[in-house]
């Protein structure tokens, strides 16, 4: 399989503009772990310590070279809410983590086209949970992605990510198959004629935790959020594909990594406990469905920026 972590040809450290120094890591966070060789942005990645340990030049390279199409319904905005408000968190974050979401690139800002509706109405496909297939086995999100990437206005787009609503009960093999086809089409040398310069990296996602299913075997609970999370993560690890792992963020404590198998992604009370014990070590971002649990949106943003840096060529060291 194509290694999705390679840097497009010509995008090296000389492309990165000088950015602000990283803010100081909070004293109550553990030392950053090495993420070399990792592809899954799980609970061990979704931490401020990890974010602040990413080299500035890697963040700059992502900001200056990535053009991202991201689509999904309400839960998808937990990531954009977190990224948006991260810019106001600490001194220098407004420059270092600058981002726009309207698909109109601004110099010095990460370019994300979120929920596109024109010239291709990608958002009409909603999210990954809308997984009814046509006679060829393709979903609406597959078809809208092809239309979007093939449009002459989007030849610079080099990252695609779709989110789930609820993943419970869904056959994720449809998702894995559809994304695998897209990867083959838009990789360097694929049927769509993309090159190393503008090949497309497809980022996988897991769904939010729904409670009472952690480690549940199959049977009796078929296609639970836990089991579907495991299918996606195992697939990505086997193929070196990047993944934003919502389920893992929801079910593990922020600092200690303690596992909460019955956690609900919309009401992760363990994260609220941590927030109450650590005022000043998180920022408000009002994530969708979890407005009292700002740390959840923080985690999405920390993990997303790690992914962008990795996709842009950073090796994790």
pLDDT digits (tens, 9 = 90+) for 8-44: 333 333 333 334 334 333 333 334 455 667 999 999 9
| CA dist 26 → 154, 219, 283, 303 (Å) | 40, 43, 13, 17
Tokens of 74: 């309400």
The answer to whether the CB of 225 falls within 8 A of the CB of 167 is yes
Give the residue among 136, 147, 204 at the shortest CA–CA distance from 175.
204
Indicate the SS3 state at residue 140: helix
99-132 pLDDT tens trace:
999 999 999 999 999 999 999 999 999 999 999 9
Q: Which residues contact 69 (CB under 8 A, 6 or more apart)?
A: 103, 112, 113, 116, 122, 145, 148, 149, 154, 157, 159, 160, 161
Residue 294 has pLDDT above 50, yes or no: yes
Neighbouring C-beta atoms of residue 208, cutoff 10 Å: 28
Residue 210 has pLDDT above 60, yes or no: yes
Tokens of 123: 């958002």
Mean confidence (pLDDT) of the chain: 89
Give the pLDDT of residue 274.
98
Give the pLDDT of residue 223.
80
CATH of domain 36-311: 3.40.50
52-89 pLDDT tens trace:
999 999 999 999 999 999 999 999 999 999 999 999 99
Q: Is the backbone peptide bond immediately before 234 cis, with ω within 30 degrees of 0?
A: no
Q: Which helix (H) or strand (E) holds 250?
A: helix 246-251
* Distance of alpha carbon 313 from the chain centroid: 16
Tokens of 152: 């002459």
Q: What angle do CA 202, 207, 212 make, to 5 degrees?
A: 155
Give the pLDDT of residue 4.
38
Rounded distance, CA 266 to CA 198, Å?
A: 37
Residue 221 has pLDDT above 90, yes or no: no
Mean pLDDT for the stretch of residues 166-181: 95
Length of the chain: 317
Indicate the SS3 state at residue 311: helix
Give the residue among 131, 135, 123 at the shortest CA–CA distance from 175.
131
């Amino acid at each position: 399989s194509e290694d999705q972590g390679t840097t497009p040809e010509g995008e090296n450290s000389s492309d990165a503009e000088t950015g602000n120094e990283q803010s100081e890591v909070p004293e109550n966070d553990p030392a950053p772990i090495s993420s070399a060789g990792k592809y899954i942005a799980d609970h061990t990645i979704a931490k401020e310590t990890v974010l602040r340990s990413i080299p500035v030049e890697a963040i700059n390279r992502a900001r200056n070279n990535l053009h991202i199409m991201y689509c999904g319904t309400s839960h998808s905005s937990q990531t954009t809410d977190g990224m948006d408000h991260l810019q106001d968190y600490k001194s220098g974050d407004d420059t270092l983590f600058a981002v726009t979401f309207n698909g109109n690139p601004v110099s010095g800002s990460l370019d994300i086209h979120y929920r596109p509706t024109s010239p291709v109405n990608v958002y009409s496909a909603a999210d990954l949970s809308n997984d009814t297939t046509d006679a060829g086995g393709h979903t609406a999100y597959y078809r809208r992605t092809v239309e979007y990437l093939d449009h002459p206005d989007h030849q610079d787009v080099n990252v695609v990510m779709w989110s789930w609503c609820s993943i419970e009960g869904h056959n994720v093999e449809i998702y894995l198959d559809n994304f695998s086809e897209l990867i083959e089409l838009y990789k360097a040398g694929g049927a769509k004629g993309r090159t190393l310069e503008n090949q497309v990296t497809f980022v996988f996602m897991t769904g939010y935790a729904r409670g009472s299913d952690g480690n549940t075997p199959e049977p009796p609970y078929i296609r639970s959020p836990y089991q579907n999370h495991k299918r996606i993560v195992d697939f990505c690890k086997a193929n070196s594909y990047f993944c934003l792992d919502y389920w893992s963020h929801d079910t593990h404590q922020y600092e200690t990594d303690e596992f909460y198998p019955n956690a609900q992604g919309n009401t992760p009370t363990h994260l609220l406990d941590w927030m109450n014990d650590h005022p000043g070590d998180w920022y408000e971002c009002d994530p969708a469905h979890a407005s009292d649990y700002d740390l959840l949106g923080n985690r999405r943003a920390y993990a997303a920026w790690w992914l962008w840096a990795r996709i842009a060529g950073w090796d994790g060291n």
